[in-house]
Amino acid sequence: MGDSADLTGYGAIPEHIAIIMDGNGRWAQAHGVPRIEGHRAGTENLRRVIKGCVDFGVKYLTVYAFSTENWSRPKDEVQGLLQILGSVIDRELKELNAQEVQLRHIGRLEKLPTLLRKKVTRAVEVTKNNDHLVFTIAWNYGGRDEIVYAVQQIIQEGIQASEVTEDDICQRLFTAGTPDPDLIIRTSGEIRGSNFLIWQSAYSEWYFTPVLWPDFDKEELHKAIVEFGLRNRRYGGRQGCDPVESGYVG
Domain ranges across the chain: 12-230
For each of the chain's 250 residues, which pLDDT tens digit applies? 444 445 645 568 999 999 999 999 999 999 999 999 999 999 999 999 999 999 999 999 999 999 999 999 999 999 999 999 999 999 999 999 999 999 999 999 998 999 999 999 999 999 999 999 999 999 999 999 999 999 999 999 999 999 999 999 999 999 999 999 999 999 999 999 999 999 999 999 999 999 999 999 999 999 999 999 999 877 665 443 334 333 333 3
Given 6, 70, 97, 215, which residue is catalytic? 70
Give yes or no: 97 in active site.
no
**Contact in structure between 187 and 209 (CB atoms under 8 Å):** yes
> Domain 12-230 - what CATH class?
alpha beta
HEC string for 154-172: HHHCCCCHHHCCHHHHHCC
Given 3, 6, 22, 76, which residue is catalytic? 22
Give yes or no: 70 in active site.
yes
